[in-house]
Amino acid sequence: MSRRLFIKILLSLGLGAYFPKLAEAARYENLHEPQDGYKPLRQVKFLRQIVTKDSRTARVIMWQSDEELNGVQIEYQLIGDGANFCAATFEIFQQDDATIYIYTCTLENLKPESLYRFRIIAENSATSWQNLRTAGYGNFQMLIFSDSQCVNYDVWQKVADTAAKKYPDAELFTVIGDLVDNGQAAYQWRAWYLAAAFVLSERIFAPVMGNHECYNLDWLNYLPVDYLHQFNLPSNGVKNFGGYFYSFDYGAAHFFVLNTQFLELDMFTKNLQDEQNYWLRRDAANTNRRWKIVLMHKDIYDYTADNFNDIAEIFMPLFDELEIDVVFTGHLHTYRNRGKIFQQKKSARGTLYILCGRSGDQKYVERNSQIDDVTAPNLNTEPESYITLDVSAESLALTCQTVDGEILDKFKLMRNA
């Protein structure tokens, strides 16, 4: 009996929870099948492609191992061309109960709107070939998840796998904060990566920091150490705040990934809000993309008070000033489309505000409000959901659907509407 067949039989019998190493092997089965006479490089796990400032010409490749790998490099090639090589760097990181090796390799001078393939090589072992698509100049599709934190990460796995299978051409994805329930717990990150293995495999990932990334193992406020080490994000040029917020171009859009964790980080950082606001104005002034899109974790509304909250007071005047087109938020674990808002009033002009529903198993129930144009039909039984965003120079088309395929919302925003 082959190793692959043995693993499949155990998993089909529902025994994956009792054999976590086998469950992990099953999720990375394709990654650990090399060609060209190499041995399987099974030490490689949690492979991810991280967004860069301009994904037309560069890509960050990251992965982890439980041990140091010798002679590690990435072989990559434009389909039909010869091979190129990039040496990987690594850092040793103490993550809760485990010592891990985090590897990074930045591929540069890539050809826009092209298909590459790459593999990781360590001496006489290698992974299988993986696809890498560089960004183009126009249309693209994106998957948007939020609050994937779980007690049982099988729920996040089902949402991520469903979206990845249904939308194979989506080029990038994000999770709008609270990727995990506890940002310093190693087992949480292992479970998250394992569940996200398929959606991560051939897509760019643009993570957003949430408040749960800023808790320690005693559930006290803490610096987002694990998050910052695991994602080598585009530089914002701001001293002491690398990785806390960033921006990137993709197709016809410019994305601002903002930090809303002022409450959690106030005792550890100085001037986060002021530094970010100054950077945001400067960054917005330097973009010429057709669309300006914000991704940030905490929402602008307090449903208990039925009014705008402190996050709204900080950001909404800025978004009005900078003419932001769309803001995607999370944190409240429910889907709401507020339509356009200007000066904190419903308006035919202004910024479209979308509160993303949860992709994990932590259910909250928020009341109805007149601020919302679209909600789930039954807020008490609202299931997990995700968003597809189709971007062109002329329009943004949004579809929110549940993990079972029920459409909660469809909306199109025209460039000059």
Is 226 found in the same domain as 125?
A: no
> Do residue 377 and residue 236 come from a single domain?
yes
Domain containing 310 — which CATH number? 3.60.21.10
Counting beta carbons within 10 angstroms of the beta carbon of residue 233, is it exposed (0 to 12), middle (13 to 18) or buried (19 or more)? Answer: buried
Q: Is residue 220 located within the same domain as residue 332?
A: yes
Of the candidates 82, 110, 133, which is a domain's last residue? 133
Count of domains forming the chain = 3
The verdict on 20 and 37 lying in the same domain is no
Instruction: Say yes or no: 164 and 85 in one domain.
Output: no
The domain that holds 127 is classified in CATH as: 2.60.40.380
- Residue ending a domain, among 133, 160, 193, is 133
pLDDT, one tens digit for every residue, the chain (417 residues): 544 444 344 444 444 554 456 567 678 778 888 778 899 999 999 999 999 999 999 999 999 999 999 999 999 999 888 999 999 999 999 988 889 999 999 999 999 999 999 999 999 999 999 999 999 988 999 999 999 999 999 999 999 999 999 999 999 999 999 999 999 999 999 999 999 999 998 999 999 999 999 999 999 999 999 999 999 999 999 999 999 999 999 999 999 999 999 999 999 998 999 999 999 999 999 999 999 999 999 999 999 999 999 999 999 999 999 999 999 999 999 999 999 999 999 999 999 999 999 999 999 999 999 999 999 999 999 999 999 999 999 999 999 999 999 999 999 999 875
Asked whether the beta carbons of 403 and 161 are under 8 A apart, the reply is: no
Kindly state whether residues 249 and 393 are assigned to the same domain.
yes
Question: Is there a single domain that holds both residue 187 and residue 328?
Answer: yes
| Last-in-domain residue among 84, 100, 133 | 133
CB 210 within 8 A of CB 177: yes
Range of the domain at 88: 31-133
Q: What is the rounded distance in angstroms from the CA atom of residue 417 to the CA atom of residue 405? A: 29
Task: Answer yes or no: do 257 and 350 share one domain.
Answer: yes
Could you tell me if 17 and 56 lie in one domain?
no
Same domain, 104 and 153: no
Domain shared by 182 and 251, yes or no: yes
Distance CA(375)–CA(405), nearest Å, equals 16
Q: In DSSP terms, which residues pair with 116 in a beta bridge?
A: 78, 132
Q: Are 365 and 379 in contact (CB under 8 A)?
A: yes
The CA angle 15-202-134, to the nearest 5 degrees, is 175
Regarding whether 101 and 187 lie in a shared domain, the answer is no
